[in-house]
Amino acid sequence: MTEVSRRAVVTGGAGFIGSHLCERLVEQGIAVVCVDDFSTGRRENLAGLIDSPLFRLVEADVSEPFTVEGPVDYVAHLASPASPFDYLRLPLETLRVGSAGTENALRLAVANRARFLLTSTSEVYGDPAEHPQRESYWGNVNPIGPRAVYDEAKRYAEAVTSAYRRTLGADTAIARLFNCFGPRMRRDDGRVVPTFVGQALAGEPLTLNGSGEQTRSLCYVDDTVRGLLALLFSDLSGPVNIGGTGELTVREIAELIAREAGVELRTVHQPLPQDDPGRRCPDIGIARTRLGWKPEVPTAEGLHRTMAWWTAAAQEARV
């Protein structure tokens, strides 16, 4: 089978990470069917793909049964609200896409004997009691808190993916993503980098939740997508952590972004959201040894690229 004959279905392909993944697949000569209902994804994310003969867009809600005509070699399931703003705004939809949506994507993969990749999340670790977080850690999740609609949706998605592998022999893999950032994030999506970048460029104080001493480990989107592709094209089932290991406090992230924007750091504080994790940093030993993957773009360089994209996008919007 030649590369040009391969075909991938990417659910949530119009989203932040999904659109970058679609582009990398097309660049490798793999035909892509993007399935998205645009509840959180954006059509402009696909602007560079829409005229490609290797790209096709199907507008559909994967929480409902859907079909894709023709052969399928890979199914990458990224469909889900992923930011606090989105999953708190769409709690029932988030639970459905993690449950019914995952199973619908799995059925498509099984019917085509395709390799299936689930993009899970570091949120399955909750507010972790283990640090750094290894894939063997079961997590510390509040199942009835407001964040549970996302955390538990992803935990269920991992469970049903694993059950399809054990019971039906499905060829599956699970990636757990940590704090990905980069171009195409929405300012209003509630995550730390777009919030701080938007505020810094607007000359506003940067909003710190709680003390700002909680930590995150940022990974630039190009590195994240490289990790997803390495796992997709492997025979590894996972779960596999994909993320940066340069742990930073939220205040340190604010300082980096203010410096890149060329503004004095001014901050305001608001209460820490319920169940907000105090520390977040992956152990990427499995990704390093089994996939040969590690992040390559330094955080400062990733923030520079992100801010340059953001500035250019704002200028285009004003034209």
For residue 277, pLDDT over 90 is answered with no
What is the per-residue pLDDT for 317? 62
Instruction: Give the whole-angstrom CA distance, residue 308 versus residue 105.
Output: 35
At residue 2, the pLDDT reads: 40
Which of the residue ranges 29-43, 203-217, 227-241, 281-295 would you say has the lowest mean pLDDT?
203-217
Q: What pTM value is reported for the model? A: 0.94
Residue 120 in tokens: 């899970």
Kindly tell me if the per-residue pLDDT of 181 is higher than 80.
yes
Mean pLDDT across 156-180 = 98
Spatial distance between the Cα atoms of 256 and 178, rounded to a whole number of angstroms: 19
- In this model, does residue 4 exceed pLDDT 90? no
Q: What pLDDT, on the 0 to 100 scale, is given for residue 276?
A: 82
Residue that has been written with the tokens 């697949």 in this structure: 25
Q: Rounded mean pLDDT of 227-234?
A: 98
Please, which pLDDT band fits residue 3 given cuts at 50, 70 and 90?
Answer: very low
- Please give the torsion angle defined by the CA atoms of residues 94, 100, 103 and 104, in that order, rounded to the nearest 10 degrees: -100
Question: What pLDDT is attached to residue 273?
Answer: 86
Q: What is the rounded average pLDDT of the residues 245-260?
A: 93
Asked whether the predicted pLDDT for residue 217 surpasses 50, the reply is yes
What is the pLDDT, as a whole number, of residue 318? 61
Mean pLDDT, range 231-258, rounded to an integer: 95
Share of the chain above pLDDT 70, in %: 97
Identify the helix (H) or strand (E) that includes residue 247.
strand 247-249
Pick the CATH number of 3-181+220-243+280-296 from 3.40.50.300, 1.10.10.200, 3.40.50.720, 3.40.50.2300: 3.40.50.720
Mean per-residue pLDDT, 250-269: 93
Place of tokens 């980069």: 182
The burial of 235, by beta-carbon neighbours within 10 Å (0-12 exposed, 13-18 middle, 19 or more buried), is given as: exposed
Q: Which of 307, 120, 299, 119 is nearest to 220 (CA)?
A: 299
Note the pLDDT of residue 90: 96
How much is the pLDDT for 1?
35
Q: Using 50, 70 and 90 to split pLDDT, how confident is the model at 188?
A: confident
Catalytic residue among 74, 87, 150, 164: 150
Q: What is the pLDDT of residue 274?
A: 87
Q: Are the C-beta atoms of residues 47 and 78 closer than 8 Å to each other?
A: no
Q: Domain ranges in the chain?
A: 3-181+220-243+280-296
Over range 78-104, report the average pLDDT. 96
Alpha helices in the chain (DSSP H): 16-27, 84-89, 91-96, 102-112, 148-168, 192-201, 221-232, 250-261, 285-286, 299-318
Q: What is the pLDDT of residues 16-41, one digit of tens each?
A: 999 999 999 999 999 999 999 999 99
85-102 residues labelled b (16+ CB within 10 A) or e (exposed): bbbbebbebbbbbbbbbb
Give the three-class secondary structure for 184: coil
In the numeric block, the tokens 């040009």 are attached to 4
150 included as an active-site residue: yes
Q: Which whole-number Å values give the CA distances from 49 to 9, 24, 37, 62, 73, in the listed order?
A: 14, 10, 17, 21, 20
